[in-house]
């Protein structure tokens, strides 16, 4: 075997795997989205976009992402900075903080449901403290903002750690000497964070943000557990097209729309956090 072909031979199994289990199904979904009974058509797209729940679920998904991702980013940066400065117990703290990562999103939703539901911990605590006379319905149609807040909270609790681990690794790669130089040349701790940490963290920030934003558009199980039908999101709509309405074409079309949104945001993040030409980070 000549060394020239060796790399290609080595990546062949992975390529085959991706081809069979990802590209091929993806092509099928795309085909399904662009056909009904006959030939090529945009009917599926027209149908799902025209449905009254589409604007609401799009708005909800976007709103949730717009609130959750920045909070997670800020929290993850704060936590990563703290962990990085710890002399002792760093690994223990990191393990504890990443526990939610090991819990499935549905389980996470149920944990938070146990807190917020009518017979949940929060109500027991409030009645026990005498704040309310009897348990109140927190996650009902009367409190749409509370439903939203509970979902946002559960999402933040569940998925901040994925950004955290990426950022901790990224911050760990920044040489200490840069901070010392910045300190000697008069940069305050905040300035060091803004002028050194953030710019040098750009590659990690890109990865963390893309991953998190794409996952935020795919939010589903937590929303189902806490909001049910009160808070429709795009993924919920795809589920209901596929399994409730038995409309595979509609589900496929909506899935492609979510994909398109994800691609657009990925490009925006890549562009916004690009490293200037010539700079090596």
Partner 1 sequence: MAEIQIKGVAKSFGSYTALHDINLTIQDQEFVVLLGASGCGKTTLLRIVAGLETATTGEVWIGGKRVDHLPPKDRGIAMVFQNYAVFPHLTVFENIGFGLRMKKLPNDEVKRRVERTAGLMHIEQLLGRYSGELSGGQRQRVAVARALAMEPDVILMDEPLSNLDALLRMEMRAELKGVLAESNTTAIYVTHDQVEAMSMADRISVMHQGRIVQAASPIEVYRNPAAEFVAGFIGNPPMNFLPATPQGGGRWAVAGQVLDGPQTPKALKFAIRPEDLRLADHGLQAVAKVIEPLGAHLLVTCDVNGALFRAVLDSDLSVKPGDTLTLAPQSDRIRWFDPETTRAVA
CB of 183 to partner 1, least distance (A): 5
Nearest alpha carbon to residue 103 among 159, 187, 47, 147: 159
Residue 229 burial (CB count, 10 A): 11
Whichever of 119 and 280 has its CB closer to partner 1, that residue is 280
Rounded distance between C-alpha atoms, residue 232 and residue 212, angstroms = 20
CB of 186 to partner 1, least distance (A): 4
User: Does 85 participate in binding partner 1 (rule CB under 8 A)?
Assistant: no
Whichever of 40 and 185 has its CB closer to partner 1, that residue is 185
Whichever of 50 and 276 has its CB closer to partner 1, that residue is 276
Q: How far is CA 199 from CA 194, 276, 280, in A?
A: 7, 10, 11
Q: Binding segment for partner 1 among 38-46, 141-149, 189-197, 265-273 (CB under 8 A)?
A: 189-197
* Dihedral pair phi/psi, residue 19, rounded to 5°: -60, -45
> Which of the residues 252 through 281 are near partner 1 (CB under 8 A)?
275-276, 278-281
Whichever of 115 and 187 has its CB closer to partner 1, that residue is 187
Residues in the chain: 281
Whichever of 110 and 187 has its CB closer to partner 1, that residue is 187
The residues, ordered by sequence, that sit 6+ positions from 214 with a Cβ below 8 Å of its Cβ are: 262, 265, 266
CB of 252 to partner 1, least distance (A): 43
Q: Binding segment for partner 1 among 76-84, 146-154, 165-173, 195-203 (CB under 8 A)?
A: 195-203
Q: Binding segment for partner 1 among 199-207, 210-218, 241-249, 250-258 (CB under 8 A)?
A: 199-207
Element (H, E) at 269: helix 248-272
Q: By three-state DSSP, how is residue 41 classified?
A: coil
Whichever of 200 and 221 has its CB closer to partner 1, that residue is 200
- Max Cα separation, the chain? 80
Binding marks (x or -) toward partner 1, 147..186, rule CB under 8 A?
Answer: ----------------------------x-xx-xxxxxxx
Q: By three-state DSSP, how is residue 40 classified?
A: strand
Q: Which two tokens stand for residue 127?
A: 């009645």
Sign, Cα dihedral of 92, 106, 157, 82: positive
CB of 177 to partner 1, least distance (A): 4
User: Does 37 participate in binding partner 1 (rule CB under 8 A)?
Assistant: no
CB of 156 to partner 1, least distance (A): 30
User: Does 205 participate in binding partner 1 (rule CB under 8 A)?
Assistant: no
CA atoms within 13 A on the CB side of 45: 12
Q: Which two tokens stand for residue 47?
A: 């149908």
Number of residues that bind partner 1 (CB under 8 A): 23
**Which residues lie near partner 1 (CB under 8 A)?**
175, 177-178, 180-187, 191, 195-196, 199-200, 202, 275-276, 278-281
């Amino acid at each position: 075997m000549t060394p020239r072909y060796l790399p290609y031979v080595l990546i062949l199994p992975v390529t085959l795997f991706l081809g069979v289990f990802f590209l091929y199904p993806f092509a099928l979904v795309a085909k399904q989205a662009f056909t009904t009974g006959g030939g090529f058509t945009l009917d599926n797209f027209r149908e799902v976009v025209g449905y009254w729940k589409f604007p609401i679920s799009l708005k909800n998904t976007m709103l949730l992402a717009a609130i959750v991702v920045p909070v997670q980013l800020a929290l993850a940066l704060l936590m990563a900075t703290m962990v990085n400065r710890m002399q002792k117990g760093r690994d223990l703290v990191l393990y504890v903080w990443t526990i939610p990562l090991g819990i499935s999103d549905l389980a996470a939703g149920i944990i938070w449901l146990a807190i917020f539901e009518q017979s949940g911990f929060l109500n027991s605590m409030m009645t026990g403290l005498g704040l309310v006379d009897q348990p109140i319905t927190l996650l009902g149609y009367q409190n749409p903002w509370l439903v939203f807040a509970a979902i946002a909270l559960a999402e933040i609790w569940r998925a901040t750690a994925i950004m955290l681990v990426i950022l901790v690794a990224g911050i760990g790669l920044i040489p200490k000497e840069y901070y010392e130089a910045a300190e000697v040349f008069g940069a305050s701790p905040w300035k060091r964070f803004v002028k050194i940490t953030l710019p040098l963290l750009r590659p990690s920030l890109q990865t963390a943000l893309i991953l998190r934003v794409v996952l935020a558009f795919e939010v589903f199980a937590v929303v189902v557990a806490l909001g049910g039908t009160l808070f429709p999101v795009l993924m919920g709509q795809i589920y209901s097209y596929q399994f409730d309405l038995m409309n595979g074409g509609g589900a496929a079309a909506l899935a492609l729309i979510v994909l398109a949104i994800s691609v657009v945001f990925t490009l925006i993040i890549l562009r916004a956090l690009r490293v200037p030409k010539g700079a090596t980070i």
